[in-house]
Amino acid sequence: MRDLPIGVFDSGMGGISVLKEMKKLMPKENYIYYGDSKNIPYGKKTKEELSHICIEIVDYFIEKKVKAVVIACNTATSAAVNELRSKYNIPIIGIEPALKPAVEKYEGGKIAVLATEVTLREKKFNELMNKYKDKAEIIKIPAPKLVTIVENGIVSEREAEEAVRELFEDINLENLSSIVLGCTHYVFLKDIIKKVLGDNIELIDGGFGTALNVKNILLKMDSLNESNKEGTIEIINTSNDKSKIELSYKLLNT
């Protein structure tokens, strides 16, 4: 059981940002990363479509005999995590926008949440937002274009800068304390977002918190890998583009 792999999936390469945190925290674990670039963008799909996609992916992981599945995608978590947990008898760990730590650190402040349309409209996020609405001014900003930019490997070019400027051109940045990166793809654009908006605005994501949650769950199950060597990482991608896998490994190791 302990040496079985952990399955991690996302709509494409964004979940690599979560996998990086897991690898740092649990270097002895074996991982299978499933990037579903064929079906990107998840943020444009219905809840029913996402549910069907997620079930197919978890079925694949079950065949691979994983000991846990991590949904390294805010959109898929919002749409399907409850259904997946009721259907399978292994741990299904999701991710959600890191609004709680942002509000705890900047209570009374102004917080922007960047996410996909599905994440922002789903009941799961709106319940989270309502929980903290009296403690901070929360602004929802859908940012589907940023997903495409990362998926195409543009993480340091002018096009990315222009997309970020465009996102915030109608947003009053005065007193903005932090931005919650509510999509795992956005983590790879941190440097560009800071370049455009300045260093005074803190960027907060849920990658480390998710990795820590996975570790704690495996500890309770007595399922942490106790090997004396570094674990393996297998990356697959549903597109026919081999460069997606190459870029995924590059993002993992930078």
CA dist 112 and 129 (Å) reads 11
Numbered residues of the known binding site for substrate: 10-11, 42-43, 74-75, 184-185
Burial 168-184 (b: 16+ CB within 10 A, else e): beeeeeeebbbbbbbbb
CA dist 239 and 193 (Å) reads 28
Q: Of the residues 92, 93, 183, 247, which is catalytic?
A: 183
Contact 156, 169 (CB under 8 A): no
Q: Of the residues 50, 73, 98, 211, which is catalytic?
A: 73
Does 183 participate in catalysis according to the annotation? yes
DSSP 1-56: -TTSPEEEEESSSTTHHHHHHHHHH-TTS-EEEEE-GGG--GGGS-HHHHHHHHHH
Q: Which of 5, 25, 19, 4 is nearest to 249 (CA)?
A: 19
- Residue bearing tokens 């070019």: 157
**CA–centroid distance for 73 within its chain:** 4
Element (H, E) at 237: strand 233-237
Does 54 participate in catalysis according to the annotation? no
Numbered residues of the known binding site: 10-11, 42-43, 74-75, 184-185
- 63's tokens: 């065949």
Active site residues: 73, 183
